[in-house]
Every structure is written in C-alpha cells, then in structure tokens.
Amino acid sequence: MNNNKYKVLLVEDDENITMLLSTMLETAGYQVVVAGTCNTAEMMFLSYVPDIIILDLGLPDKDGISFLKKVRENYLTPIIILSARSEEKTKVQALDLGANDYITKPFGSEELLARVRAILRSYRFSADEGRFPGGEFVLKNMHINYDKRKVFIDDTEIKLTQIEYNILALLSEQCGKLLTYATIIKAIWGCSDEGSIKKLQVNMANIRKKLGSTPGQNDYIVNEIGVGYRMKEENE
C-alpha cells in the first residue's frame, strides 16, 4: 500500500547524504526517488510528480537554482533547499525564487523531517485558501481567531494593530515556513521602499513584546537574521 505515501524527489549528488536521507525519509514513511544531476531531476520531476522536492544547490551539471526556476515556471510543488552555502544572499535569492525553506548543511535529521512535515502541512492548508479549518489557529498558548481577527494568549486577548495582526496571521497561515522580509513586506504593504525592512522590524518587535517574549527568546516566532521570519511549529 505505497499509494498513500508522500513522494519525495531528492536531488543530491553526494552519495553519503543521499543514503542517509533516503533511509531516514523511508523510515519516516515517505517514498523517495533520487536524482544526482539537474537534468535527471527535470526528467524525474515530470515522470514522478513528487509531493515535495529536497534540492541541493551544488550539482555536477548545473546549479540547483536553475532546477528551482524551471519547476516554478509551472508548478507550486514545495521545495526545500539543502545546501552547504550559508550566505544570506543565496538564502534570500532561493526563497524569493519560490523555495519554501532552506536548510544549511550540516543539518539535524529531526530538523529536516520537521521542516518536511511543516511544509506538507501548510501546503495542504493552502489548498483551502490558506485558512485553517474552522478559521482558527492554535500554537502552544496562542490562539488566533481568523474570523474575528483576534489573538489570545491563554484566555487573554492581545491587542494588536491591524498591521501587526496581518503580519501575525500571514506567518501563522504559513506556519513552519520561513518568509523573507521581501515576501512579508509585499504581502502586508503591497510595495516596498527604503524604510520597509525597518518598518517591518519595528512591527515585529511590538508583536513579539505583546506576545510576552523576552529579547533572544520567543515561543512563537523565529527571526532568521538578515533573511526573514518563521512561525514555529507546535513541538519546536
């Protein structure tokens, strides 16, 4: 009964990583196919129609970014970049080109599995116009009521401005996914100018403060410095 399993296309040329990841993903109940080059990946993508792609950037024939662009011309299949390159510029570029997440090597296997689960989950929800069933979102002590546009910690309502609420709702609707500054700014303000990132950071600082976070510690939102923000998962 393999039909119900999520299909993962793993694009990676390093045999050790391929072996490790295939075993790990298969043990976790996924079906895995491996492509060692961009060209193979393109063929396999079309014949195999994966539910999610894990993509290395340093491949023998082309840069993984070119495969990412190719897929995004026509498909929304979730893509996690797995790369040794940790420069912010590369991360931002990949995310802005439509990658759903970015994991830097070396990585923890539990972390990777958590990201895969989170993305497949948000992907399922996005089919429902980005809303969670019942118009509610719960993460630890926080509870968002989308219909009433209200946020609660335990039973206490948290007073947010419209902008603050919009940012929080956006992050929650894509829970687990890292959103770049540019993506958030575009979604909230529609356009960006020189002061946009600063404006976002000020709003975010207020949101985090209102949610009861202390500097350097946050129960709900992770700040990837220089890249963007991500709402944590339940068990994180």
Compute φ and ψ for 27, nearest 5 degrees.
Answer: -60, -35
| 58 is an interface residue for Ca ion by CB under 5 A | yes
- Decide if 152 contacts 158 (C-beta within 8 A): yes
13 binds Ca ion (CB under 5 A): yes
> Taking CB under 5 A as the rule, does residue 135 contact Ca ion?
no
Question: Which of 58, 57, 127, 129 is closest to 99 using CA atoms?
Answer: 57
Cα 164 to the chain's mean position, in Å? 20
| Residue 55 binds Ca ion, judged by CB under 5 A | no
Minimum CB–partner distance for residue 34 and Ca ion (Å): 12
C-alpha span between 116 and 99 (Å, rounded): 13
Among the listed ranges 32-40, 49-57, 107-115, 166-174, the one in contact with Ca ion (CB under 5 A) is: 49-57
Pairing of β 178-180 and β 228-231: antiparallel
Query: What's the min distance (Å) between Cβ of 11 and Ca ion?
Result: 9
Nearer to Ca ion, 85 or 150 (CB): 85
Collapsing DSSP to helix, strand or coil, 217 comes out as: strand
CB atoms within 10 A of CB 107: 14
Q: How far is the CB of 81 from Ca ion (least distance, A)?
A: 12
CA 181 to the chain's CA centroid: 13
Number of residues that bind Ca ion (CB under 5 A): 3
Q: Does 101 bind Ca ion (CB under 5 A)?
A: no
- Work out how close the CB of 44 gets to Ca ion at its nearest, in angstroms, rounded to a whole number: 17
The least distance separating Ca ion from the CB of residue 55, rounded to whole angstroms, comes to 10
CB of 118 to Ca ion, least distance (A): 24
Angstrom CA distances, 97 to 93, 143, 218, 224, stand at: 6, 31, 28, 18
Q: Cβ closer to Ca ion: 60 or 195?
A: 60
Of 56-64, 133-141, 145-153, 201-209, which part binds Ca ion (CB under 5 A)?
A: 56-64
**In the complex with Ca ion, which residue's Cβ is closer, 17 or 170?**
17
- Residue with smallest beta-carbon separation from Ca ion: 58
Give the integer Cα–Cα distance in Å for 165 and 144: 10
Can you tell me the distance from the alpha carbon of 50 to that of 198, in angstroms, rounded to the nearest whole number?
38
- DSSP letter at 177 equals -
Report the residue from 25, 52, 56, 158 that binds Ca ion according to the rule CB under 5 A: 56
Q: Which of residues 207-236 bind Ca ion (CB under 5 A)?
A: none
Binding site for Ca ion (CB under 5 A): 13, 56, 58
